[in-house]
Amino acid sequence: MPDQPLKVLLAAPRGFCAGVERAVEIVERALAAYGAPVYVRHAIVHNVHVVSELEAKGAVFVEDETAVPEGGLLVFSAHGVAPTVRVNSEQRGLRTIDATCPLVTKVHLEAVDYAQRGLSIILVGHEGHQEVIGTMGHAPESINLVETAEDVEALDLPDPSRVAYLTQTTLSVDEANAVIDAIRRKYPQARGPRGEDICYATQNRQDATKVLADRSDLVLVVGSAHSSNSKRMVEVALDYGAPAAYLVDDADAIEPAWLDGVDTVGLTSGASAPERLVTDVIRWLQDRSRGATVETLDVIDEQMHFALPAQLRNLPLVDSGAR
């Protein structure tokens, strides 16, 4: 137990981004309108609590569209899918709803445009991530995946003057910039996307985490281990001077020993983590430090909303514990 009451610095912005809000709402509205089961290809967002709560309401998560009975209702996750998934779903007679984040769709359209113009595309991202798999599926003959500057150096593209690059939306901004710098050094004429590919929410949460790191003895990031943006936030906290930083799914994952010698805890959450998990962590910290104070650290005023797919806009929404 700390020797004195803790100060908890609560980052703003944190938690659900507009793309996650939209994706979760799509599943909820589909369940309310059509009833269970509603199938979802891959986890709708990368958070175990959100997934389990939607499962309890009748959502069924599958890794492949072939697992959905013919004629079933399938929602594509926020991470996006390759065009072949849409074709396969149509051939199986599935009804589909697209919950792909509009910022991921932007990257897909850029990939198609570059490929149609005959450019070699360098995609900065993590191999095996669902977003990367979907993006590569839009231009499989043109995309070259890289994760590091060393990967860029190993590339041997056919025409150095006809190169473009894209990035996964949930990367660390600093990490992505280092790889982009390597691309520009090797391919000075490389064309970048119209506007940054890394999403506003990823960047905003990382910027807020940098401020937390400077003012905290310990930074806690609420998010699941398979959430790319949440893991990047822990890395950012450590890179920017936090003495310690941990990723926790919920309050139960906190080790009391982490608080030894700690006066200030910086608290934030990934873009797919519901706010109630942050509230639970605050209660956990207050239980272990009577009189613990909570101060909100306003770093960026985030105002963003994405419209629902047209087929769902007039359907009812049931109250959700996943928020």
Which residues carry out catalysis? Answer: 131
CA-to-CA distance for 167 and 38, rounded, in angstroms?
Answer: 31
Residue bearing tokens 């890394």: 198
CA atoms within 13 A on the CB side of 147: 5
Residue 120 has φ and ψ, to the nearest 5°, of -80, 130
CA nearest to 38, candidates 84, 17, 66, 69: 69
CA nearest to 158, candidates 125, 128, 118, 129: 118
CA 69 to chain CA centroid, nearest Å:
29
Residue 26 has φ and ψ, to the nearest 5°, of -60, -45
Residues 6+ apart with CB under 8 A from 51: 43, 44, 45, 59, 61
Q: Bridge-partner residues for 245, per DSSP? A: 219
CA nearest to 2, candidates 268, 260, 320: 260
Does a cis peptide bond (omega within 30 degrees of 0) precede residue 193?
A: no
Residue bearing tokens 């928020």: 323
Q: Bridge-partner residues for 40, per DSSP? A: 61, 75
To the nearest 5 percent, what fractions of the chain are helix, strand and coil? Answer: 40, 20, 40
